[in-house]
Amino acid sequence: MTKIDTIGRRQRATLPRHARVRVGKREVSDPAEAWAVIDAARIAHVGFVADERPMVIPMLHARIGRKLYIHGAKATRIVKGVEERAPVCLTVTLLDGIVVARSAFHHSMNYRSVVVHAQARHVVNAVEKEAALVALTNRLLPGRWDEVRQMTAKEFNATGVLALDVEQVTMKRRDGPPVDDEEDYNLPIWAGVISLAETVTGIAADEDLAEDVPAPPSVVRSTTRPR
C-alpha cells in the first residue's frame, strides 16, 4: 500500500505536501494485490526475445494460483521445442486516471501495473491443459465455459497452451492527486485528476442467432463487472 491510501483527507492536510506521496516509492509489496490486478486486466502485453530483439504482443492471459497461462499460435511460438523453456515478461496495466498538475513536469497517470518475469513452457499434460483452457475462457467472460458447446478433441489438440512458471512479480501503483512544487500551489492554474475506466458500451447479438436465445448470465453480468 502506498502512503496515499492509508492517510485520510483530513489527516493528510496536516502533513507537509512533499510527504503526501512517496515519489519513487510506487512499489506495492502485497502479492494478493498484484494477483488481483492480473485478474482484473483483460489482456497482458507479453514480451520475449526473438533473434536477440525484444518482441511485445498483446495476449489473453489467465491465472491458476501462482501460474499464468497464455494460448494460441503466437504464444506457443515463443517456446520452440517441447522440452525447451524461454524467459518471458508478462505485464498488465490498469489506467485509473490522468494526473493534471500545475507544471508539465508533474503531470502523470494514476495506474496499477504488474510485471511478471517467468519461464514459459509448453503444457503437455492434458489435465493441466484443460484447466488452463477453462481458465482462459472464463477470464474473457466469467462463467462462459459452462455455457458453450463442449470442446472437441480436435480443438483441444489444435490449441497450444503455454504455462508461465512465475519467478518474480512486481507491482507498482500511483494514485491520489498531483504533487506540485510548493511554490506552484499559489498559481492560478487548474490541477486535479481525470478518472478513467473501461466500460461496456453495448451488447450486440450475432445477426445469425436463433431468435429465441436470450443473453446468458455471463453476458448479462458483464455490464456490471467490477474492475
Site residue total, a copy of itself (CB under 8 A) = 88
C-alpha dist (Å) from residue 148 to 20, 69, 79, 141, 210 = 50, 21, 30, 11, 15
Query: In the complex, what is the shortest distance from the CB of residue 65 to a copy of itself, in angstroms, rounded to a whole number?
Result: 21
Query: In the complex, what is the shortest distance from the CB of residue 120 to a copy of itself, in angstroms, rounded to a whole number?
Result: 10
* 41 Cβ contact partners less than 8 Å away, ≥ 6 residues apart: 61, 92, 93, 94, 114
3-state secondary structure (DSSP) of residue 50: strand
By CB under 8 A, the residues from 119 to 178 that bind a copy of itself are 133, 137, 140-141, 144-145, 147-149, 151-152, 155, 159, 177-178
124 vs 220, beta carbon nearer a copy of itself: 220
* 22 Cβ contact partners less than 8 Å away, ≥ 6 residues apart: 2, 3
* 88 counts as binding a copy of itself under rule CB under 8 A: yes
68/90 Cα distance (integer angstroms)? 9
Query: In the complex, what is the shortest distance from the CB of residue 108 to a copy of itself, in angstroms, rounded to a whole number?
Result: 8
Separation of CA 204 from chain center? 25
111/193 Cα distance (integer angstroms)? 12
By CB under 8 A, the residues from 24 to 63 that bind a copy of itself are 42-43, 45-49, 52-58, 60
83 vs 208, beta carbon nearer a copy of itself: 208
* 222 counts as binding a copy of itself under rule CB under 8 A: yes
* 192 counts as binding a copy of itself under rule CB under 8 A: yes
C-alpha dist (Å) from residue 138 to 78, 143, 204, 209 = 24, 5, 20, 22
Site track for a copy of itself across 89-108, x = CB under 8 A: xxx-x-x--x-xxxxxx-x-
Rg (CA), the chain: 22
* 76 counts as binding a copy of itself under rule CB under 8 A: no
Contact segment (CB under 8 A) with a copy of itself among 27-35, 62-70, 121-129, 195-203 equals: 195-203
* 14 counts as binding a copy of itself under rule CB under 8 A: no
